[in-house]
Amino acid sequence: MKTSICSRWAIFALLTMACLAVRPSHADEGRPNIVYIMTDDHAYHALSCYGSKVNHTPHLDKLAASGMRFNNAFVTNSICTPSRATLLTGKYSHKNGTPVFNRFDGEQQNVAKLLQKGGYHTLMVGKWHLGSDPTGFDNWNILPGQGRYIDPILYDAKGAKVYEGYATDVITDIGVGMLQARPKDKPFFLMLHHKAPHREWEPNDHYRKVFAEKVIPEPATLRDDYSTRPAALPINQQTVFKDLTRRDLKLVPPADLQGPKRNQWLSVKPDSVELMVNGVQRTLTGPDLDSWKYQRYMQDYLACVQSVDDNVGRLMDWLKAEGLAQNTIVIYTADNGFFLGDNGMYDKRFMYEPSLHIPLLVTGPGVKAGEVTDAFAINPDFAPTFLDLAGLATPADMQGRSLKPVLAGKTPSDWRKSMYYRYYHDPGHHNTRAHYGVRTATHKLIHYWRVDGWELFDLKADPGEQKNLYGQPAMAEITQGLKSELQQLRNEFQDQDQFANELPKDGVDGGVLRWAEGHSPQGPKVPRPQ
């Protein structure tokens, strides 16, 4: 029997459709590229699109305006290494084995491996800080440990190299170079992780000078005396007034740093500092000295942020010029929040709002433009989101949830109404008591489990978290509800106190990985970890 031409075409069409149905899609068929930009310690209240009172970030604002801004994006353990482990695995610290600054086991599953296997070209540049080499990337080039701001060392699978320039510019340049060298027949996934604006806040020359002329408004809680929250705050060692070092304040310009001429150091004592200010010698004491420390801290921190903002703009312009903007999702966030003098502090760690919150801006195909969402996002959501955007399945053991429907403006009705947090690094670098807690849209309950201290805050009436309401009779019902919610979240995330009493010892900030601090001017002789 002869097959008619029409029938043959029908069979061919059916076979083609069948092939298309099982074939993984590729970039030219609509799978988006993903660029994930993460800064280190960029507080959400140091972006003008979040209402910053201390700086202006035009390029980040533009990114926010073209896409979605999350009002309630949080980290689940507010320090560098655990946050990065959670980002890669989609799991809480107790599930990925990295609760503090301990070496991340790169043998375990991670989102880069899954994207690579799913047809993506995977790239990583910048601060890694996990104590083991990246896995799952076609190409990577990373800072050792914290890295340094000026002429940073980065190493890849072949070895270490000094890159002349300022770290934020260098990391962007390397990221662009990786994209230029990519295979054009695959979608790409780029993790671009800036060192900035991490301590000790070393700006480039231009912004150092610009911000040295600025007077930064002080936050309302800069002189917090902690009298209403005795569980952990009075013993913290991350205060602007008592704990910033000479190096933080640029009082002793290190050999590899050009010291700010405007504030040439003469002498410093515990309660006073003598300075040359614009050629005039001054002795600062008491509140004047405190205010000066805050200004020095914030001037340099914000100057570092300004370089980040410039480089985000530069990367966005490059994507546009290459014709990639239409099919690339760009995400901007930070590895944790930061205190900008809030509660008298710098650094992060605590579950208080400035440290818990992260900026989260997303733009690109499938993202509703010009939207602001109050949906709760947590950093375990990132890995499932990348996979969902790439059209790949999320493994059942990932604990986050894809943000893709939220980005489309269709937040599911059963979306989370609360989030769970747990911090372990006790005493850590700043004498912080370990704690866990739950946050809802209106309240926060924190338990410092080692000292059995509790804190309860009404976030609507007291957004600065100044009044601990725990134990007040009028709050009994709310407290009970939050405790039930906390237990339910602990059950859901299978937190069985795996690291409550004993922490891993192989720290990336000490012992065998001490070299990784990146502060020594050893140049290319810095050894790579084996």
Q: For the CB of residue 334, give the shortest distance to Ca ion in the complex, in Å.
A: 7
Residue 292 exposed, middle or buried by CB count within 10 Å (0-12, 13-18, 19+): middle
Q: Which of residues 434-453 bind Ca ion (CB under 5 A)?
A: none
We find the least distance from the C-beta atom of residue 84 to Ca ion, in angstroms, to be 9
Residue 68 identity: M
Which residue, 77 or 122, has its beta carbon nearer to Ca ion?
Answer: 77
Query: Is 97:107 a contact under the CB 8 Å cutoff?
Result: no
Q: Are 267 and 274 in contact (CB under 8 A)?
A: yes
Decide: is 222 part of the binding site for Ca ion (CB under 5 A): no
Site for Ca ion in 230-259 (CB under 5 A): none
CB nearer to Ca ion: pick between 114 and 345 = 345
Nearer of residues 200 and 335 to Ca ion, judged by Cβ: 335
User: Smallest gap, in angstroms, from Cβ of residue 41 to Ca ion?
Assistant: 4
Which residues between 39 and 78 bind Ca ion (CB under 5 A)? 40-41
42/401 with CB nearer Ca ion: 42
By C-alpha distance, which of 146, 149, 208, 139 is closest to 174? 139
Instruction: Give whichever of 40 and 290 is closer to Ca ion, judged by the CB atom.
Output: 40
Instruction: Determine the 3-state secondary structure of 331 from DSSP.
Output: strand
Short-list 313, 332, 408, 304, CA closest to 73: 332
What does the alpha-carbon distance between residue 265 and residue 126 come to, in Å, rounded to a whole number?
33
The residue of the chain with the least Cβ separation from Ca ion equals 80
Instruction: Tell me the closest approach of the beta carbon of residue 126 to Ca ion, in angstroms.
Output: 12
Region 307-346 residues binding Ca ion, contact defined as CB under 5 A: 335-336
Cβ closest to Ca ion, residue 371 vs residue 517: 517
Q: Which two tokens stand for residue 92?
A: 């809480």
Residues 259 and 263: their CA atoms lie apart, in Å, by 8
Residue 529 CA to chain centroid, in angstroms?
24
In terms of CB distance, is 81 or 263 closer to Ca ion? 81
> At its nearest, how many Å lie between Ca ion and the CB of residue 335?
4
Stretch in the footprint of Ca ion (CB under 5 A) among 33-41, 251-259, 409-417, 450-458: 33-41
Q: Which two tokens stand for residue 268?
A: 């410093």
Residue 347 binding Ca ion, by CB under 5 A: no
Strands (E), 40-163: 68-74, 121-127, 139-143, 153-155, 160-162
Residues 169-198 that bind Ca ion (CB under 5 A): none
The nearest distance, CB 298 to Ca ion, in angstroms, is: 17
Which CB sits closer to Ca ion, 202 or 335? 335
Q: Does the protein bind Ca ion through residue 290 (CB under 5 A)?
A: no
CB of 87 or CB of 298, closer to Ca ion: 87
Q: Any idea what DSSP says for residue 24? A: P
Q: How far is the CB of 256 from Ca ion (least distance, A)?
A: 22
Report the candidate in 472, 453, 386, 344 with the shortest Cα–Cα distance to residue 90: 386
For Ca ion, the binding residues in 75-94 under the rule CB under 5 A are: 80
Of 38-46, 181-189, 230-238, 265-273, the segment contacting Ca ion by CB under 5 A is 38-46
Number of residues lying near Ca ion (CB under 5 A): 5
**How are strands ordered across the β-sheet holding 371-378?**
160-162, 153-155, 139-143, 121-127, 188-193, 33-39, 328-334, 360-363, 68-74, 371-378
In whole angstroms, what is the distance from residue 41 CA to residue 121 CA? 28
CB of 38 to Ca ion, least distance (A): 9
In whole angstroms, the minimum distance from the beta carbon of 411 to Ca ion comes to 28
What residues line the site for Ca ion (CB under 5 A)? 40-41, 80, 335-336
